[in-house]
Homo-oligomer: A and B are copies of this chain.
Amino acid sequence: MLYLTRRETFNAGHRLFKQEWTDEKNLQVYGKCSNPHGHGHNYILTVTVKGKINPETGFVVNLKTLSNIIKEYIIEKIDHMNMNTQVDFMKGKIASTENLAIAAWEVLDPHIRLLGIELHCVKIVETENNYVEYYGN
């Protein structure tokens, strides 16, 4: 078993808040992240897949293929977008890094299975000081 990781980057806007809460409650829970005018981040998404080496190619999977899947299903939908209002896989969810990691897993998993390999980890780096990892359950 080998673990292969691909890094992609995107920028997005978001606001952390719950619609059913008052602004005061949102501020108390989410701090500056609840700013109603929105802010954003340079996110780093790393996707780790796991599989056997294909002895024909020496690859677990062609990196180009993996990169294209990440770009088509995640990056193109979220890059320079507002996570709260414009990204289908974040609809109705609090725009936290945790929810984003799970959503990215759910989007990517079926496409990666089709390659005959397994999705192992989705990691979202929000700032140089924090990140979330999700292993699928």
Contact = CB atoms under 8 A, between A and B. Distances in A.
Q: Contact residue range for chain A?
A: 35 or more
B40 A9 contact: no
A37 B81 contact: yes
Given A58-B99, A98-B60, A5 B130 contact: yes
A39 B81 contact: yes
Interface of A: 1-9, 11-14, 16, 18, 29-33, 35, 37-42, 48, 53, 56-60, 62-64, 67, 79-82, 85-86, 93-99, 101-102, 127-135, 137
A130 B63 contact: yes
Contact of A39 (B6, B12, B56, B59): B12
